[in-house]
């Protein structure tokens, strides 16, 4: 049975975080950050997040005038 890419990304980030940081609260933060990065990469890989579309929307929003 194949693992879902999101699961692989989260597990990969978790393992990377554990290898990078061993002890303390700072280690917990590094592990959590690695898990989130792995989750994000998996979502991009699956096509659930389109980076080019997000960038274009960001650029379009920058050109709009803000209401006061």
pLDDT digits (tens, 9 = 90+) for 16-43: 777 676 667 676 677 778 888 888 888 8
Q: Contact at 8 Å (CB) between 20 and 30?
A: yes
Which whole-number Å values give the CA distances from 33 to 45, 63, 66, in the listed order?
18, 32, 33
Whether pTM > 0.75 for this model: the answer is no
pLDDT value at residue 21: 66
Mutual orientation of helices 5-20 and 24-46 as an angle, nearest 10°? Answer: 150
Q: Average pLDDT over the chain, rounded to whole?
A: 78
C-alpha to C-alpha distance for 44 and 37, rounded to whole angstroms: 11
pLDDT value at residue 33: 84
C-alpha to C-alpha distance for 64 and 44, rounded to whole angstroms: 27
pLDDT value at residue 30: 76
Conformation bin of residue 65: beta by default, left when phi > 0, alpha when psi is -120 to 50? beta
User: Quick one: average pLDDT of 30-59?
Assistant: 84
């Amino acid at each position: 049975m194949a693992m879902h890419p999101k699961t692989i990304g989260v597990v990969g980030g978790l393992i990377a975080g554990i290898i990078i940081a061993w002890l303390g609260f700072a280690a917990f933060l590094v592990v959590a950050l690695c898990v989130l990065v792995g989750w994000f990469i998996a979502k991009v890989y699956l096509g659930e997040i389109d980076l080019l579309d997000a960038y274009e929307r960001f650029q379009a929003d920058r050109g709009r005038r803000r209401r006061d």
